[in-house]
Amino acid sequence: MRATYKKHILQFKQASGTSRGILRTKETYFLQIERNQKIGIGECAVFRGLSVDDVLDYEKKMQWLCTNINLPLQTLLLELIAFPSIQFGVEQAFLSLQSDSGFNLFPSSFTDGNDSIAINGLVWMGTEHFMAKQIEAKLKAGFTTIKLKIGAIDFEKELTLLKSIRSDFSAKEVTLRVDANGSFKPEEALEKLKRLSNFEIHSIEQPIKVNQWDTMEELCAKTPLDIALDEELIGIFQIKDKKKILEKIRPQYIILKPSLIGGISGSNEWIVLAENQNIDWWITSALESNIGLNAIAQYTYSLGTKIPQGLGTGSLFTNNIDSPLQVKNGNLWYVKDTPWNFGFSKY
């Protein structure tokens, strides 16, 4: 068996705002493994500025992986524990190698095109006008769950946007989620949560910055709306440490981003620990190309969860991989007769 990799720079159709800044490009790596004339493909989607594996020797680790690809999979995953995006790429590539088509990693009604995954419509940060136009477009596209990234413009203006939605749509008609990306100051967070709760918000992701466990524990105990941990999960590798943070903070939800938390195996660990403590969860992509998004979507469907997931980012890029993944009426579908256009020979 031999392995190679190729760097790919995804180009955003439109600059996308988060509390960490404006995103115009997204770096990723495609891993290809070959065995007996069969090819497997996976995506190692490092997220610069967010991934724990955003380190100078990232490509050196990719080179190590290609040199040692014939080691047992579990040995590889253990060696790559500090590189969760590479772990996930390896898992994808091995599943792809075992698949008849190379892309049907978790055969199901989803990959047969007979069922879909409910997803939220993502509204990026920007001016009040820009965000309002996105909200209007998502509602017209049939989304019944809208997720707004907040924290970049004035909080009062963000509340005005939420109020405008609620003036037209009740909580039964449209579910609202918000993601603060750690932008609230600890001393003001609870008051902001109270004000957000006036608009029947489903949940807020990561209201304050990571590693403030005592404050986050207090917020989760007192909050008038559900809190979901997101960035807080990044960089926690050992099961005992995962268990510790959940027992300490007691969030209402956790958000699982396989590329940031160790792929399928890492996500499975978090799910078991969370469910043991009656903590709910959902899965979100992290700006992968359609290669990684395909793996996340198929894995998500295999888990049987019914609440809307965060899997709608495949249409953000001008140079994504053509795939059967299509968003229709607020759901992600795998349109079986639509061909993949990856071009293995190029990589």
127: domain CATH number is 3.20.20.120
Q: Phi, psi (5° rounding) for residue 258?
A: -50, -35
Among 63, 98, 133, identify where a domain stops. 98
Nearest to 49 by CA among 25, 20, 22, 88: 20
83: in domain: yes
Name the residue among 152, 104, 115 with its Cα closest to residue 131.
Answer: 152
The pair phi, psi for residue 332, each rounded to 5°, is -95, 125
DSSP element (H, E) containing 161: helix 155-168
Provide the pLDDT for residue 126.
78
Q: Report the predicted TM-score, pTM, of the whole model to 2 decimal places.
A: 0.94
Residues 159 and 298 in one domain: yes
pLDDT of 345: 39
pLDDT for 347 equals 35
Query: pLDDT per residue over 169-205, tens digit each?
Result: 999 999 999 999 999 999 999 999 999 999 999 999 9
Tell me the mean pLDDT in the region 270-288: 97
DSSP helix/strand/coil, 197 = helix
If asked whether residues 58 and 127 sit together in one domain, one would say no
Q: Indicate whether 155 and 13 sit together in one domain.
A: no
Range of the domain at 127: 117-346
Percent of the chain's residues with pLDDT above 90: 83
Other beta carbons within 10 Å of 210: 15
Q: Is the residue at 106 inside a domain?
A: no
| 39 SS3 class | strand
Q: List, for residues 55-68, the tens digit of each pLDDT value.
A: 999 999 999 999 99
Looking at the fold, whether 245 and 276 belong to one and the same domain comes out as: yes
Task: Read off the pLDDT of each residue in 259-288 and give the average, rounded to a whole number.
Answer: 97
The residue among 98, 125, 145 that closes a domain is: 98
Local structure of 198: helix, strand or coil: coil
Q: What is the pLDDT of residues 202-248, one digit of tens each?
A: 999 999 999 999 999 999 999 999 999 999 999 999 999 999 999 99
Whether 252 contacts 220, CB under 8 Å: yes
Is residue 23 very low, low, confident or very high in pLDDT (cuts 50, 70, 90)? confident
185 is catalytic: no
Residues 33 and 138 both lie in one domain: no
Per-residue pLDDT tens over the stretch 31-54 = 999 999 999 999 999 999 899 999
pLDDT of the residue at 18: 59
Distance in angstroms (rounded) separating the CA atoms of residues 260 and 263: 7
Give domain status of residue 107, yes or no. Answer: no
Residues 6 or more apart in contact with residue 104 via CB below 8 angstroms:
111, 298
Given a cut of 60, whether residue 286 has pLDDT beyond it is yes
CA of residue 311 relative to chain centroid, distance:
7
Active-site entry in 26, 138, 147, 149: 149
Instruction: List the beta bridge partners of residue 226.
Output: 203
pLDDT digits (tens, 9 = 90+) for 294-308: 999 999 999 999 999
Active-site choice (26, 138, 209, 257)? 257
* 259 and 127 in a common domain: yes
Reply yes or no on whether 192 is catalytic: no
Are the beta carbons of 62 and 5 closer than 8 angstroms? yes
CATH classification of the domain holding 23: 3.30.390.10
Asked if 155 and 74 sit in the same domain, the reply is no
Rounded distance, CA 296 to CA 286, Å? 10
Strands in the chain per DSSP E: 2-18, 21-35, 38-44, 117-118, 121-123, 145-149, 175-179, 203-205, 226-229, 253-256, 280-283, 325-328, 331-334
pLDDT range class, residue 19, cuts 50, 70, 90: low
Shared domain check, 275 and 142 = yes
Instruction: Give the number of domains in the chain.
Output: 2
The vertex-152 CA angle with 309 and 308, nearest 5°, equals 10
Tell me if 44 sits within 8 A of 27, measured CB to CB.
Answer: no
Whole-angstrom Cα distance, residue 32 to residue 291? 12
Please report which confidence band the pLDDT of residue 78 belongs to, taking 50, 70 and 90 as the band edges.
very high
Residues 132 and 24 in one domain: no
Q: How confident is the model at residue 326 (pLDDT cuts 50, 70, 90)?
A: very high
Q: Are residues 123 and 91 in the same domain?
A: no
Instruction: Note the pLDDT tens digit of each residue in 94-121.
Output: 999 999 889 999 999 999 999 999 999 9
